Copies of this chain bind each other. A is one copy, B any other.
């Protein structure tokens, strides 16, 4: 049975709220996810929260979530909208919040043969972009997202929210560039980067499975040495004044081209 908490000063409320900060997320190995849709996505992927805060258990999917959480040894806490607001910082908080254990992000957990497409982000700074790329990864049937060098925290509230649940269905790994490259070269995989310094149109190029699409930092793009390590550099046509797309947009345009070539084959 859910217990009830309505005091702002309750230490569990304070702990949950603290998970909005990266420092606390890292120290505790936990993170926050909000909303019935995202938490249900997680449940269907077999991932349950250690603790659940909810304001009103009227929805059958929320009931299912509470039961599954308690059956797995987690705790369900009934509270009110004010407390949910305090934890999430949102003016219109979702009716349910979960605290999850952070997923293991070691490269060695990835089975590259489990999917024909993988996304790789290098020094991506915007958590919203990161979450959006995860969401796209789900849509294109990618296996997951590999974060190279210092990226935004995939367990931040913004990234989890933008991923719309894909954080729980896509694999996530984090690695330094050298370690990623060594891992990549131990097996099959075509590393594809987008670049301004190539004449190869992204629709003319041919992609081999598993394809690893490498996206660079939002303002710098890929370092030259990283471009040189790619098996293939392609360019997306730019018909206007700007020379680049938003990083999550570029990833999606590339990923759908890979998917579309396979659909035609």
Contact = CB atoms under 8 A, between A and B. Distances in A.
A130 to B, nearest CB: 12
Interface of A is mostly: helix
A245 B136 contact: yes
Nearest to A140: B239
A174 interface: no
Interface stretch (A7-15, A161-169, A220-228): A161-169
Nearest to A253: B256
Contacts of A141: 239-240
A241 B169 CA distance: 8
Contact of A248 (B169, B249, B260): B249
B241 A138 contact: yes
Taken together, the copies of this chain in the complex come to 2
17 contacts: A135-B245, A136-B245, A137-B240, A139-B242, A140-B239, A141-B240, A164-B242, A165-B241, A165-B242, A169-B240, A169-B241, A203-B260, A236-B256, A245-B252, A248-B249, A249-B252, A256-B256
Contacts of A41: 241-242
A137 B246 CA distance: 11
Interface string A120-136: 00000000100010011
B237 A263 contact: yes
Given A135-B246, A139-B245, A203-B263, 19 more contacts: A128-B128, A132-B248, A132-B249, A135-B242, A135-B245, A137-B240, A139-B236, A140-B240, A141-B239, A141-B240, A166-B240, A166-B241, A169-B240, A239-B259, A245-B252, A246-B248, A252-B252, A252-B253, A253-B256
Contacts of A136: 245-246, 249
Interface in A151-169: 162, 164-166, 169
Contact of A238 (B139, B162, B165, B252): B139
Nearest to A135: B246
Contacts of A252: 245, 249, 252-253
